[in-house]
Amino acid sequence: MGPVEGYEAIERDCPSDWQLNNAPTTLEALTVALRDATALLDASMRVRIDAAILGNSPTLRVISTATTGSDHIDLQAAAEKGITVRTLKEDSQFLREITPAAELTWALVLAVARQIPKAAEHVRQGNWVREEFPGIMLNQKVLGIVGCGRIGSWVARYGEAFGMRVIGYDPYQKKWPTCIQAESLANVIATADVITIHVHLNGETRNLLTKDLLKTVKNGAIIVNTSRAGVIDEDGLLAGLQSGRLAGVGLDVLSGEPEIKSSALVEYAMTRSNLIITPHCGGYSPDAVKLVCRRAAEKIFSSEISCDHVS
């Protein structure tokens, strides 16, 4: 289930005794597809795989996601049914050179700092007044990174290349990249001119950036989140934008996605240019999709299960 590039990449590697189907990314279609499936390769995350859908999948034995996150899967329900869930979080070495999410993070930093979407629309309307678009110079500014693993480390390198001083928070980082100065979360949030977030969503990181913590950000700071919406208090984020404390925000994730029509952040972004939202496309690059889908498929094809049908 997912992009056609991923399906095509694993189609030729599929063992001859397996039947491979590309399930549409709707709840109804996936429910039907899983009724007789033994394995699911999920490269979409558009459908929540909850207890109800798992309860209607009597032969399902393994779910392998082409993502590091699994918050769209009811892990408890899967465990109760004896369904193994595999994610790319297990593959740190493999993922080291998969960079689209880090690249989108930096694209959002630049887009917010230089007001690129608004400036481009200005020209499309036949105007040419550069004074309406003052940019933030990144050189000599402080880049604060929350989560200094694979993606955070790449973003740190980009920041260093732009002449920024890089600080970071990560309680689990054992070997710090030389370009990142380790700090507490409070110091990162209060000190950085640009803050980027790169953590998995779990019980420890949910609401990691609380409303009160967001009140301590430096005036004129930029925040970019390409990890998961649940790690940051969205009401606090909106309040920071409305008050003017935050110069801008870039998001690739939203609570409730893909159902985002009722999102207060989306409503704000429709009339303001200092909030840029993209549709959780950080990892979506055909080059990367092919690689991660092949890896996710390998986990299914090498699993010790008797199966003949993968969606």
Res. 117: pLDDT tops 80? yes
- In this structure, what are the phi and psi dihedrals at residue 112, rounded to the nearest 5 degrees? -75, -45
Residues 108, 248, single domain; the answer is yes
Residues 109, 149, single domain; the answer is yes
**Beta carbons of 286 and 66 less than 8 angstroms apart:** no
Show the domain range for 270: 100-277
pLDDT at position 109 is 98
Q: How large a percentage of the chain has pLDDT more than 70? A: 97
Residues 88, 104, single domain; the answer is no
Beta strands at 142-146 and 39-42: parallel, antiparallel or unpaired: unpaired
**Beta carbons of 108 and 279 less than 8 angstroms apart:** no
Q: Give pLDDT tens digits for 169-183.
A: 999 998 898 999 999
Q: How many angstroms from the chain centroid is the CA of residue 294? A: 20
Please list the active-site residues: 228, 257, 280
User: 70-87 b/e with 16+ CB inside 10 Å = b?
Assistant: bbbbbeebbeeeebbbbb
Res. 234: pLDDT tops 60? yes
**Residue at token pair 């005036």:** 219
Q: Which long-range contacts (C-beta less than 8 Å, at least 24 apart) are formed by 91-97?
A: 91/295, 92/149, 92/150, 94/295, 95/68, 95/150, 96/150
130 contacts: CB under 8 Å, gap ≥ 6: none
The answer to whether the pTM exceeds 0.75 is yes
Residues 211, 297, single domain; the answer is no
Residues 53, 200, single domain; the answer is no
Tally of structural domains, the chain: 2
Q: What gap in Å lies between CA 124 and CA 50, rounded to an integer?
A: 44
Q: What gap in Å lies between CA 265 and CA 238, rounded to an integer?
A: 7
> Based on C-alpha coordinates, what's the Rg of the chain?
21
Residues 252, 184, single domain; the answer is yes
Q: Is 2 left (phi over 0), alpha (psi -120 to 50) or beta?
A: left
Q: Give pLDDT tens digits for 37-54.
A: 999 999 887 788 999 999
Residues 124, 264, single domain; the answer is yes
Residues 178, 151, single domain; the answer is yes
Residues 78, 30, single domain; the answer is yes
Residues 234, 262, single domain; the answer is yes
Tokens of 148: 């200094």
Residues 225, 302, single domain; the answer is no
CATH code assigned at 71: 3.40.50.720
Q: Output the CA torsion sign for 202, 207, 213, 214.
A: positive
Residues 73, 169, single domain; the answer is no
